[in-house]
Structure 1
Amino acid sequence: MQRMGMMIGIKPDKIDEYKTLHAAVWPTVLNALHIANIKNFSIFLREPENLLFSYWEYVGNDFDADMRQLAQDPQTQQWWLFCDPCQVPLASRADGEHWATMKKVFHMD
């Protein structure tokens, strides 16, 4: 299992919309995440900085292949059409990233 953290900005005027979307995530999107071996997924909001922090656990064997499959899912693509306009990618993210990945520096069970 791989623990993963990511960050992205959120537009202040889109915070309520983003919260509403995530209060009722489409079951098809949740299923696509499950198929992509994503478990224990959470998103946190930090105001007034307007940052989103997400955490998930990846339990598969080929992260890149699972993420390609997830990105090809039509319902997930539709979901992103609603979520992406709310977000502000960090300037420091790596090439090809939307959410900026983070390195784990500590964990305690």
Structure 2
Amino acid sequence: MTAPDLDQLLASTDARSPGRCCFLLHVKPEKLPEYVEAHQHVWEEMREALTEAGWRNYSLFLRAEDGLVVGYFEADDVDAAQRSIAEAAIAPRWEAAMAEYFAPAADGTPGGDKEILPQYFHLS
């Protein structure tokens, strides 16, 4: 199967969900202890903003060997929830505080890349 065929299959599968999102981030391995510690004390204002934006069942998972973070959340409308949190007043402060932990983005800018993964199977 060629890449365009796979892209079309992933874009058209019935298993896609507007209510679930999984994403990847990459934390600098030397920053992992501080990054995990920061998430033990997420600001209440940030927690409230996520809830108000519609994020539910938000979880982060870590592969410590290389700093790979897998994030997952649910929302009535994932795209709208992501737009809403991006527009929240607290978001720029939180992102600035977290930027030091992430490996540089592919284009070299600080703050890292967030890769959204396509869903292709779901068993409810």
TM over 0.5: yes
For residues 25 and 93 of structure 2, the distance between their equivalents in structure 1, rounded to whole angstroms, comes to 19
Aligned-residue Cα RMSD (Å) equals: 2.1
Matching of residue 15 in structure 1 with residue 32 in structure 2 = yes
Number of aligned residue pairs: give it: 102
1:104 aligns with 2:119: yes
Normalized per residue, the structure richer in strand is 1
Unpaired segments ≥5 residues, structure 1: 92-96
Residue pairs, 1:15-94, within 5 angstroms: 15-60=32-77, 63-64=79-80, 66-88=81-103, 91=106
Give the C-alpha shift of residue 99 in structure 1: 1.1
Higher RCO (C-alpha under 8 Å, 6+ residues apart): 1
Largest Rg, 1 or 2: 2
In the alignment, does 2:19 pair up with 1:2?
yes
Contiguous gaps of at least 5 residues in structure 2? 1-17, 107-111
The residue type equivalent to 1:72 in the other structure is E
TM-score normalized with structure 1 length: 0.80
Deviations 1:35-84 (A, max 9, x none): 11110000000121220000000224x724x4333223232211111112
When normalised by structure 2's length, the TM-score is 0.71
- Residues 26/86 of structure 1: CA separation in 2 closer, same or farther (3 Å cut): same
Sequence identity, in percent? 26
Aligned partners of 2:104 and 2:62: how far apart in 1? 14
